[in-house]
Structure 1
Amino acid sequence: FTTHGTHLNTLPGKVTLCDLFEEDESSDEGEDNETITFRNPLEQPREVSVKTLRHEEADYIAKQIHQIQSTGELMTDNGCIRPIEFSDIMILMRNRTHIDIYEDALKQHGIPFIGSKKGGLLENLEIRDLNCLLNTLITPYDNLALAQVLKSPIFSASDDNLILLARENNETHWYKRLLLLAEHDAELSKPLQRAARLLPRWQQLAEHLPVHDALDKIFSEGNIINRYIAANKQQNKQKIAANCQRFLELSLETDSGRYPSITRFLQRLSHLQNYSANPPEEPLSQSNESRVRLMTIHGSKGLESPVVFLADCNSTASNKNAYASLVRWPAEKSQPTNFQLQLSKDHTDQITQRLQQEKLDEQQREELNLLYVALTRAREQLYISGVASNRSQNHSWYQIIADGLDDITERETSFDETNCKVYRHLAYDHCAAEQTNKNVLTEDNSLHIDERLLKPIEIQPKSNFLIAPSLHTTSLHATGLHTDFNDSVLIDTSDKDDDKTGNNISPNNIYQREVAIWRGTIIHRIIEQLCIAETYPATENAVDAIRQQIKTDVLFSRPAYIDYLEACVKEAVSTYNHADLKFIFKPASETQRFNEMPLMYKQQQQAVYGFVDRVIKSENDIMIVDYKSHQLDDGENTRDSALQFSTQMDYYRSGIKKLWPEHAVKAGILFTHHNEIVWLD
């Protein structure tokens, strides 16, 4: 080999060769002398140690990295001297076989890292939780999958919660037990209440939506990613969020999205994990956080790092020539010069042995080339470690490096009492480095600031014109609850809150006002669900299903209002089934119907937005209907009350005309308590 001189003579450097990690004979003698005692297997688990020498090596590397970072060791970066950060450190390995051990050691010591596990996405705990969630939605009686989902950050149930479910003997399946507990136990824990509220809804989504759309809604309604972020350590937050997002993307990418059902998607994931040569990879970290890089030597080609740990250097590839093919195909030839099958060593002839030796020499040359790549990744510090083996390792990388360093290294003991051979070249002057940093900080780095940025921001005067007329009623002004809005014009955003309060609410009774707001929201929701079901008139089964779902939600969010629920259901169903209103809820089949239709447009430089409760579009005409749950006094009539909302309905009409300018638009207010509609034309 040609002698190389590419090292940086002006930079301080260090090479540390750690002694091989070997079995501690004294610990074996201690184990032999231990007294054997009986244990109760129901109360005391068997202690099985899975720690190997490679675990000790990984622990040494993690401790050494922590020591480098915590003691503020220095490095040179673009001519400036600064402390070493995690991102300046790289761990290199020959292959990925034992990469899990090194990753676990870094996790235990709280060191953030970027891993190099191939196809590891589906093996992560958060992905297994999401798999169990999808399984629960299509097979709700899988008790084990449900238990994992409840225990996961999706619901964060405690052990006591699961014990409560396990002790319920009235039903075989935990899913039924959960729903029954939520229905009859008002003091049920929040995680179980939340699960009983969300799982039935997500089951409905799973039945009607493609897997990506269902997962998208589940992630949104369940706040999945944020809950996993909150449940994990700081160094894992970004990785877990990226994994969850990658799982969501995978549901769309798998076979170009041609698997619409959850069942087919889970089958595809199982195939990718168990049979595919290229299972889904973990996404690369996009965080700016400083992280140790952990990769194979092949993957590090072209990269450099101030500090490099070369791990597992004492292992060698085993000879697996028996019954394998032996091919000699020179690059300049158009065909192989030799092709044969190899037998066991006892049945190999001399010609084959010569060919095998030539191939072995080539492999050893490639191994040395790979070692050269590994050693030249380090700019300033290089750490070499390995695990002792019973087999002869005279040609291992560790022995080659040890032989080369014998005459130039000194014996030292590291901070954790590990024996090492160390070679040093120059050293940093910490005092000079501190002075350099001070000089850099005191330089005049002032920036030119545009004077216009120093002027106060001119804010346009707020518009007091509100679209929802109910906000201008005497009762609301008397309460002092009037709210100034910004320049955006609001359509119906208060409809779900303020304009369902009615005029019969006492100004001083805030509780009644809140109940009225909630009552209007519930009636809207029930009518919307009945319209989506498209069953007319509404059947008892359809009403019961909606009642049960809303009851679960109310018990979770507003248990004090549960006594008002039945009256809301009756009012909504009465409105929906009323014969005079059939043309609204059971229009002709050729019409298009929209529920809670969003509108957003600009008018006179103001943003107009809101939701129209019901839109019915025929060939030439469009009806827009807005529900109002007002309970009018004896002296009031529906016509006068409806006129309060004429401005709001004009904005609705304008928005609809922008969508369908050729259609005639008819707008009406439907008073649910009185089963009467008033047209505003």
Structure 2
Amino acid sequence: MNPALDPSRSSAVLASAGTGKTWTLTGRIVRLLLAGAVPGGILALTFTRKAAAEMRERVVARLEELAYADEAGLSAALAELQAPDDDAHRQRARALFEDYVHAELPLRASTLHAFCQELLGRFPLEAGVPAGFTLAEREDEYLAQAIEQVLARLHRAPDSAEAQALDVLAQEGVGEWELRELLRGLLQRRAELWAATEGSEAPLETLSTALATRLPYSADEDPYGAVDAASCGFRISMLHGLLQELGDTQYVKAAALAGAHELQGPERLAALLTALYKKDGSAPYSFKPPKKRYTEQQAATALDHHAALLEALGLSLEALRRHSTYRRTRAALTLGLAAMTALDEILRRANALLFPELEWQTCRLLSSAEQAEWVRYKLDARIEHLLLDEFQDTSPLQWRLLKPILDEFAADPTRGRSAFVVGDAKQSIYGFRRAEPQLLELAAQTLEQQLAAVRLPLNASQRSAPAIIDFANTLFLGEAGARIGFDAHETRREGLYGAVEVMPLFAAGERDSPDNDGGLRNPLTTPRETGEDRRAAQEGEWVATRIQALIAARTPVTGRDGASRPLHYGDVMVLARQRRHLGALERALGAAGIPYLSATRGTLLDTALAQDLLALLAVLDAPHRDLELAQALRSPLFSVDDHDLLALARRAEDAKQTWFATLDDCLERPALARAQRLLSRWRGLARRLPPHDLLDRIADEGDLVRRCRAARPQDSAVAANLAALLQLALDSDHGRYPTLAGFLRHCAGLRGDAAPDEAPPAGGEARVRVMTVHAAKGLEAPAVFLVNTAPGARAARAGWRIEWPIGAERPGLVVLTGSKNDRDPLSQALVDAEQAREQREDLNLLYVALTRARQYLFVSGFAPARGEAEDSWHARCRAAAQALTAAANDSADTPPQLLHYSRGQAPAVQELPASSSTERLDPALLRPLRAQKPATDSSLAIAPEAVLRGQLVHALLQALSTPGEVDRARLPVRVASQLGTAIAPSLYAAALAEAEAVLTAPALQAHFAPGLRAWNEVSLPVLGDEGLQMNVIDRLVDDGERLWVLDYKTHRTGDAASVLEGAREQLLRYVDAVRRLWPGRPVLAGVIWTPKAQWLPLDPSA
């Protein structure tokens, strides 16, 4: 039984990896609906849009299953949900899907931030936020603006408090780069500062007082008092005398202490440090008086004086560190609070909120004494059931935000409301986002105490084979498991075959030495390769070889139905703790011909498509950019070859003008002529259209996707990346005053993780997935390679430490800690606490990585430059594998040092497709497509010369009827480049005469008169029997009363009746389409028979 499915009780589910957390959550939602809850009364919150979308999709799928299952299937589904199988529940289950679809208010399954945004949007006045605010996601851009404003203000006001704070930091050795990083770090944690200073009119004093109390610090304290004391001076003299009389020790010399007793303050402290401490200041020298020269009494006296001096020196050093911590923190807070004020003003002008502002304003709205009761009353009326997913990722501020809602639930137990919390502290890997896994336990206790909730631990995996579970249990036995709260796991897939392999580290060897071929490396083209790089390449080659071996061996992959098939590339996932060295692995996969998909973030703007389009936009924004124009011309959009590009460059140099202007002089070259025509049009559009619309026109008119696919067949993500770039253009200004220059600046400002991701390739080709462990959260694969496992946890660094006790309303302390040798006891305690948290999170990350594997796990690594850490992932995995293989004697047939553990019998594979779908295909998709019906009349056979003549007449009519001055001298070259072929002078002259006769014919003047509202070459999607066709109306005229559809016919055979009859069906389709665009307007159509310059009107009723 699963009590978490009981809709009448609140629940706290502690679900380990792969134990069916999402199934339980969605099952509870279905049980709530089955029990009579309305969709709009259920609020389910998670932390990512993807997880929220998956939650909604799974709920809908389960409701569909209940609606369409046969009688036996419905009984099985109700039993799985632990719901009664009576007539009432069966009838209710059948109706759930329809009720859900037609519900007045839908199920709210969203992110916490979306919930906050909705709430602030409903109560902007109560929250004190601007109505109609936008949510800005590019935080780094706003933080940089705020920092620059504060630094610029320092130059204008050198006597301000901020300028004085800068002087203090400069004295502490803080440089410009460190200053920017300190301010950025504090701005990123501004919500914690708001909480710490809530209700205070003097935030700086509030924070400073709390720090002074805890250090402790007093401005009246003399940090040099201990070394300046008379007793210390006496000790210095006595020890100096003994050393001078009896001789120096190995490290402490009489000369170093000479005259120190006459000094005071910093000078005496510096003299004692030089005499008694190591040069790096990390520890005192050892002091051992030589027994040959010192009697026992003399040695004891010397040791006593030395110990007393070290004690005085230690007291003064500790006092100085406390003073330094206070001064440094207060100075940095002074600048940081100024930056927070600047950021607030920047966001106010932009009418925007960032995520921390969103959370904090919602928190204030739900907890402030003035507004909270009214807001909670309105909110309480809609929320009957609350479900919180991935609770281990909750921050203290988010817990404070959610706590009032849970308190409101407990205030009225008669309403039958429920709360559900699910998470796993072992999978908390987002400490850099302030996630606090201990809040999961606090939330469980809160639900137990206030709502009589049931606590349910889930440790039985529905995902992994016994071999994987054995490995995880062995690895996390003892102190590692105790640190992350690990309990022994079980698996529901007992018969599933699986294996674990741990490779020895790739250590330094021959390949690690630089080549001695006497060659020189060009540093501009060839990066320096380190030994670590070469070892990473070795590991990448091994991973590629092992994957190929798994494919060749037809390694079995067993589905939940028990059928086994050969492993394919899409079954493999490669995980790393960090992105460094993943490039070497991807190069190895590529060299081996293994298709892979990299989840490296922020790569959209690095794709060839994006770079080419951004270069083109830069030219349209500023045509003098010759370099960007060269890149655009060489792109698949124009495909200008080197010969044409060199000719353009020479002519531009001779004419002393830009390449863009010189394009007008190169129309005899078809590729350049096409580029000139398109660029001139897009240059005009760039002044009027927003970036998104301009890019859309470029893609359409330039036939971008088809040309890119033809030029780069291996790039399967062209269409997806184009869509991502269009979305980026749409989002760049949040709909406010978009400009091309602004979009280009926006793209230039996107760096690293702030940049959008490259879209995954379309199609179903199986590919190895390469990603970090963070990116793999929530994913799984039959085979997982865990690479680069030798590095240990990083050492603690100087920076901000904010102490927010578990369950407390607000942080108690904000400290800017110094470097290792400059930390007072309080700072060191905070650093140690954070280091312990990071070490726990490092173990959590390893746990997440291991539990992504369903059947096969491969662990490898290479020796880092500083050697393998004792607590590295590889060391822990090696120890676990050794314990398992020793117990199972399972490594007899494996290569030396390779540790292999397997459990179960490998099944025989069946010839199944790599991936299969149970979804039924629409039969229409299986029918062969018929060729598109041509837009021109094909009733008569047309010779190639006639085709060219017809195309030429069409092109001339288009050019001559377009408003504006026509350069007749260049018209032949322009038309030839448009058609992509050479044109004989006689043919051109005949076609020109025919076109001019049409334009000057009295019967046709109504369609070509100057000042008419008309369009040439109108692309129009027309839906016919053969499906959607893209046809082109030669000319569309709006005379103010009627719309005219004109179609040019150029063939010389037949009579007027046959020409019109051949175009009838086509014209009727055009008329129908135009009427849809202009409903209520009369639409007429006809043929202009160009050889006769004759108008042939269409009679629709004939």
Regarding TM over 0.5, the answer is: yes
2:591 maps to which residue? Answer: 108
1:441-460 matches, within 5 Å, as none
1:321 maps to which residue? Answer: 797
CA 1:85–1:348 in 2, change beyond 3 Å: closer, same or farther? same
Q: What's the RMSD between the two structures over aligned residues?
A: 4.8
If you compute each CA radius of gyration, which structure gives the higher value, 1 or 2? 2
Deviations 1:67-118 (A, max 9, x none): 2122222232221232221122111222334433333332222222232211
Distance across 2 between alignment mates of 1:603 and 1:314: 64
2:704 to 221, 224, 236: 224
Task: Give the deviation of 1:345 after TM superposition.
Answer: 1.9
1:71 maps to which residue? Answer: 553
1:14 to 491, 499, 504: 499
2:671 maps to which residue? Answer: 194
Is residue 593 of structure 1 aligned with residue 1001 of structure 2? no
1:552 maps to which residue? Answer: 977
TM-score, normalised via structure 1 length: 0.71
CA 1:385–1:157 in 2, change beyond 3 Å: closer, same or farther? farther
Distance across 2 between alignment mates of 1:593 and 1:68: 65
CA 1:178–1:101 in 2, change beyond 3 Å: closer, same or farther? farther
Deviations 1:181-231 (A, max 9, x none): 661x7xxxxxxx435424432431342263444434443454433343344
Deviations 1:479-516 (A, max 9, x none): xxxxxx9999x9x722xx778xxxxxxx9xx7xx4333
Distance across 2 between alignment mates of 1:302 and 1:586: 66
2:819 maps to which residue? Answer: 344
Is residue 398 of structure 1 aligned with residue 819 of structure 2? no
Distance across 1 between alignment mates of 2:1026 and 2:845: 66
1:91-240 matches, within 5 Å, as 91-139=574-622, 142-155=625-638, 170=654, 183=668, 193-208=670-685, 210=689, 211-232=691-712, 236-240=714-718
Task: Give the deviation of 1:180 after TM superposition.
Answer: 5.3
CA 1:389–1:107 in 2, change beyond 3 Å: closer, same or farther? same
Task: Give the deviation of 1:575 after TM superposition.
Answer: 4.2
Q: Is the 8 A contact 2:497 2:905 kept in 1?
A: yes
TM-score, normalised via structure 2 length: 0.46
1:607-622 matches, within 5 Å, as 613-618=1034-1039, 620=1041
1:517 to 930, 941, 947: 947
Q: Is the 8 A contact 1:153 1:228 kept in 2?
A: yes
Task: Give the deviation of 1:248 after TM superposition.
Answer: 3.9
Structure 2 stretches lacking a partner, 5+ long: 1-481, 914-922
Deviations 1:619-645 (A, max 9, x none): 55666655555779xxxxxxx954555
Distance across 1 between alignment mates of 2:1033 and 2:844: 71
Distance across 1 between alignment mates of 2:1024 and 2:719: 40
Structure 1 stretches lacking a partner, 5+ long: 186-192, 442-451, 458-484, 500-506, 633-639
Higher fraction of helix: 2
Is residue 294 of structure 1 aligned with residue 760 of structure 2? no
Amino acid of the residue matched to residue 681 of structure 2? Answer: Q
Distance across 2 between alignment mates of 1:398 and 1:596: 66
Task: Give the deviation of 1:288 after TM superposition.
Answer: 1.9
Deviations 1:444-499 (A, max 9, x none): xxxxxxxx99xxx9xxxxxxxxxxxxxxxxxxxxxxxxxxx9999x9x722xx778
% of aligned pairs identical?
27
Deviations 1:652-679 (A, max 9, x none): 5897599489888877765656666577
Distance across 2 between alignment mates of 1:605 and 1:161: 41
2:535 maps to which residue? Answer: 53
Task: Give the deviation of 1:649 after TM superposition.
Answer: 8.2
Distance across 1 between alignment mates of 2:552 and 2:1090: 68
Amino acid of the residue matched to residue 961 of structure 2? Answer: C
CA 1:93–1:669 in 2, change beyond 3 Å: closer, same or farther? closer
Deviations 1:151-172 (A, max 9, x none): 4444556667666766777556
Distance across 2 between alignment mates of 1:345 and 1:566: 87
Q: Is the 8 A contact 1:17 1:421 kept in 2?
A: yes
Paired residues in the alignment total 584
Distance across 2 between alignment mates of 1:237 and 1:578: 52
Task: Give the deviation of 1:267 after TM superposition.
Answer: 3.0
Amino acid of the residue matched to residue 266 of structure 1? Answer: L
Q: Is the 8 A contact 2:617 2:740 kept in 1?
A: yes
CA 1:195–1:414 in 2, change beyond 3 Å: closer, same or farther? farther
Is residue 572 of structure 1 aligned with residue 975 of structure 2? no
Amino acid of the residue matched to residue 493 of structure 1? Answer: T
Distance across 2 between alignment mates of 1:399 and 1:123: 37
Distance across 2 between alignment mates of 1:486 and 1:585: 34
Task: Give the deviation of 1:525 after TM superposition.
Answer: 2.7
Distance across 1 between alignment mates of 2:865 and 2:1097: 93
Distance across 2 between alignment mates of 1:57 and 1:604: 58
Distance across 2 between alignment mates of 1:531 and 1:16: 74
Task: Give the deviation of 1:334 after TM superposition.
Answer: 0.5
Which range moved further: 669-678 or 237-246? 669-678
Which range moved further: 301-310 or 654-663? 654-663
Is residue 425 of structure 1 aligned with residue 902 of structure 2? yes
1:370 to 833, 838, 845: 845
2:196 maps to which residue? Answer: none
2:573 maps to which residue? Answer: 90
Amino acid of the residue matched to residue 765 of structure 2? Answer: E
CA 1:402–1:675 in 2, change beyond 3 Å: closer, same or farther? closer
Deviations 1:340-385 (A, max 9, x none): 2212222212233233223322222222222222222223222222
Distance across 2 between alignment mates of 1:303 and 1:674: 70
CA 1:289–1:581 in 2, change beyond 3 Å: closer, same or farther? closer
Q: Is the 8 A contact 1:57 1:387 kept in 2?
A: yes
Deviations 1:103-158 (A, max 9, x none): 33322222222322112111123321232333345555544334434544445566
Amino acid of the residue matched to residue 585 of structure 1? Answer: F
Amino acid of the residue matched to residue 265 of structure 1? Answer: F
2:392 maps to which residue? Answer: none
1:656-671 matches, within 5 Å, as 659=1075
Amino acid of the residue matched to residue 527 of structure 1? Answer: L
Which range moved further: 648-657 or 127-136? 648-657
